[in-house]
Amino acid sequence: MESKAKVAGHPIHQMIIVFPLGLLATASIFDMIQEGTGDRRWSEVGHYVMGAGLVSGLTAAVPGLIDYLAIPGGTRAKRIGLLHGVGNVVVTGMYAASWLSRRRRPGNPKRSALALSYGAAALAVVTGWLGGELVDRLGVGVDDGAHLNAPNSLSGRRASESAGGVRKSSAA
């Protein structure tokens, strides 16, 4: 199922999801380092990284929702997509609660803020796996007719065409 939200021939959601995943995971890792070293600067920096992760996560959700709405109903992909999306809303909510609770003293987060950060990171592993299931196993966001010799996405040709411009058969 080809993505409905694209730029330069590629799905936007798949391109930008790396930012919230990396930023939010890094914030949790910084919290762990702070707990291990006692150096509060790690959690302070983590607080700002977490804020950037939240903004980028909300941004990535928009094209993800557009693609989810295009998945045909009654399919395994629709069910997995719902779990992926709702799970990521929960992840974002947990990180947002952690971020809000440490706003006044970002270098000295409460235990509850740390628990939210770690729990959200663990849940993000699951929702990330579900996203991989959608793309890698169920073909969501993959161009129709994609193959190993498909033309460049900027060429204006369909993925089902060969590099020489001849359409591949459906058996290929």
Whole-angstrom distance, CA of residue 133 vs CA of residue 33: 31
**Each residue of 25-83: pLDDT tens digit?**
999 999 999 999 999 999 999 999 999 999 999 999 999 999 999 999 999 999 999 99
Report residue 117's pLDDT band, with 50, 70 and 90 as the boundaries. very high
The model's pTM is: 0.87
pLDDT at 169 over 70: no
- Domain edges within the chain: 6-137, 144-172
Distance in angstroms (rounded) separating the CA atoms of residues 103 and 48: 10
- CATH 1.20.120 for domain 6-137, yes or no, is yes
Check whether 110 has a pLDDT greater than 80.
Answer: yes
Residue 166 has pLDDT above 60, yes or no: no
Give how far Cα 82 sits from Cα of 19, 41, 66, 153, Å. 21, 37, 12, 28
Task: Please give the C-alpha separations between residue 102 and each of 42, 85, 92, 110, in angstroms, as whole numbers.
Answer: 13, 26, 16, 7
Q: Which helix (H) or strand (E) holds 80?
A: helix 76-101
- Cα distances from 41 to residues 16, 38, 74, 97, in angstroms, run 28, 9, 49, 20
